[in-house]
Amino acid sequence: MADAKGTIGAEAEPHSDLSTHAPEARPDGWIYKGFRVGKKEIWYASPKIQLLMVALVCFLCPGMYNALGGLGGGGQIDGTVQDHASTALYSVFAVVAFFSGSFANKVGVKTTLGIGGLGYCIYSASFLCYNHTQNVGFVIFAGAFLGLCAGLLWTAQGAIMMSYPPEESKGRYISWFWIIFNLGAVIGSLIPLGQNINNTGGTVTDGTYVGFIVLMVVGAALTFLLVNADKVIRDDGSRVIIMKNPTWQSELIGLWECISLSPWVVALFPMFFASNIFYTYQQNGLNLAHFNVRARSLNNLLYWLAQIFGAVIFGYALDFPKIRRSMRAKISFGALFTLTFVIWGGGYAWQRQQVSRAVTSEPSYESQKIDWTDPKFLGPMFLYIFYGFYDACWQTCIYWYMGALSNSGRRTANMAGFYKGLQSAGAAVFWRLDGVHIEYNTLFAATWAVCAGSLVVAAPIIFLKIKDTTALETDLKYSDERPEDVIPTTVALEEKRTDV
């Protein structure tokens, strides 16, 4: 039988006599009849299948968005219009995401993801339009609308990724999601690479944007295949902790409860703020400023491939069963702190040798940008790969830290909202800094300093508040459910014992 600590809690004795609870019927209509792995039936409403579906949505929507953004400037020669769009995007994102946990808890993750998937294709279409009309206003509007949609999508995704898996598998679930999600960016990066393999100019082709639009539409449509959290049953028969009877009032109050009952969670807020700020420098200050379009396309591909390796290494290490969870948290923090100084230290050694921003903005500099045939290409290419690896490590750790603090679907939705809201606020600030043409050296220094400083602030919560398990009683404080609503059922436990 799988370890049920993630749902029963540290003090399992009061619930050890599970036979006193009446068997519950599994959700009708969500089983693939006749298809088995060994003796175990595959359930569509299982955490693994639902995480796979969410990962596919993110593969096709934000994954393609990342591939487009990774080109620098949204595929344009001048990154100014993308800076303005990104500032609008993340400003709206920051406000919407902060309250989107309440929205997801009230209407369900399926509807929240469905609405959230709409904005991505419109954003890509705005750049296609800009290629022909130079309509800056449409691009900025599309960025703002995407901010609204992305706030909803990422909050629902975060709640699913942190609350659906059992405690002992959260690192792997995060890793699996990050692999599939970043495969979207990898495959999306092949589109501009193939379209621009013989293009040493500045702007990507119309076909690149059309490819992104089609894939993003498909991703938004996939949200209709999801189920809500109340239908999800884990392998051990336990359910996700939610509100059975949510109201708008109860969910808005839940935002306050999430912080008031655990005020120390604010120590993670600087890490939330820092978690997307490095894209601005990496994509525009390094890739766009110093590489031609086909070299940028290759760098973009390698960046997202590196994210997959980072997610695999950290995700599986965070679930290593022979080390206590509290110790894994400390070790991962030490590794992340070390990477912050090793990788960004290498970045400093490269950045301080580069020309000023004013020089890179001159039209004549376009012909001097690095091509993949240049001998000096390999150094910054590997630096860009390590930046991608670092991003995945950061994101994997921070999701795992939040998941280690709670198993409640309601609370993790609120925490995901806080995370994405503050993350977007940080991104908005740094995209605006790029939009006013701050020097790349200054942008680099500010990014490195915020990342390092946020780790120092977060250290106490990671070292003192992450325990070896989270008690069920603690998670139920954020819900109107009772222990018998979520603990494993007799039928499920018997099936689990007979599985080979």
The per-residue pLDDT for range 424-439, each reduced to its tens digit, is 889 889 988 988 889 9
Query: What is the average pLDDT score of the chain?
Result: 79
State how far the alpha carbon of 440 is from the alpha carbons of 74, 198, 228, 443, in Å.
Answer: 18, 29, 45, 5
Assess whether pLDDT exceeds 70 at residue 302: yes
CATH number of the domain to which 283 belongs = 1.20.1250.20
Closest C-alpha to 287, from 134, 66, 127: 66
Mean pLDDT along residues 277-300: 88
Integer Cα distance of 41 and 34 in angstroms = 8
Q: Is residue 15, in this structure, part of any structural domain at all?
A: no
Among 4-13, 144-153, 321-330, 458-467, whose mean pLDDT is lowest? 4-13
- Report pLDDT digits (tens) over 445-478: 999 999 999 999 999 999 998 888 876 666 656 6
Among 22-26, 65-69, 125-129, 171-175, whose mean pLDDT is lowest? 22-26
77: confidence class by pLDDT, cuts 50, 70, 90:
low
Assess whether pLDDT exceeds 50 at residue 207: yes
Amino acid identity, position 188: G
Q: Is residue 55, in this structure, part of any structural domain at all?
A: yes
Beta bridge partners of 371: none
| Neighbouring residues of 379: CB distance < 8 A, sequence distance ≥ 6 | 350
Among 57-71, 294-308, 483-497, whose mean pLDDT is lowest? 483-497
Q: Is residue 3, in this structure, part of any structural domain at all?
A: no
349: confidence class by pLDDT, cuts 50, 70, 90:
very high
159: confidence class by pLDDT, cuts 50, 70, 90:
confident
* pLDDT value of residue 282: 93
Task: Tell me if residue 114 falls in helix, strand or coil.
Answer: helix
248: confidence class by pLDDT, cuts 50, 70, 90:
low
| Neighbouring residues of 141: CB distance < 8 A, sequence distance ≥ 6 | 88, 126
What's the total number of domains in the chain? 1
Domain carrying residue 223: 46-492
| Neighbouring residues of 394: CB distance < 8 A, sequence distance ≥ 6 | 275, 336, 451
Closest C-alpha to 155, from 365, 472, 399: 399
Mean pLDDT along residues 246-251: 62
Assess whether pLDDT exceeds 60 at residue 1: no
Q: Is residue 26, in this structure, part of any structural domain at all?
A: no
Assess whether pLDDT exceeds 90 at residue 264: no
242: confidence class by pLDDT, cuts 50, 70, 90:
low
Beta strand pairing call for 31-37 and 40-43 = antiparallel
Q: Is residue 97, in this structure, part of any structural domain at all?
A: yes
Q: Is residue 27, in this structure, part of any structural domain at all?
A: no
244: confidence class by pLDDT, cuts 50, 70, 90:
low
Among 79-88, 214-223, 289-298, 476-485, whose mean pLDDT is lowest? 476-485
Integer Cα distance of 246 and 34 in angstroms = 36
* pLDDT value of residue 39: 38
Q: Is residue 310, in this structure, part of any structural domain at all?
A: yes
Among 5-19, 190-204, 253-267, whose mean pLDDT is lowest? 5-19
Beta bridge partners of 241: 408
Written as one string, the DSSP assignment of 334-397 is HHHHHHHHHHHHHHHHHHTTSPPHHHHTSGGGGGGSB-TTSGGGHHHHHHHHHHHHHHHHHHHH
Q: Is residue 40, in this structure, part of any structural domain at all?
A: no
Assess whether pLDDT exceeds 80 at residue 67: no
* pLDDT value of residue 29: 38
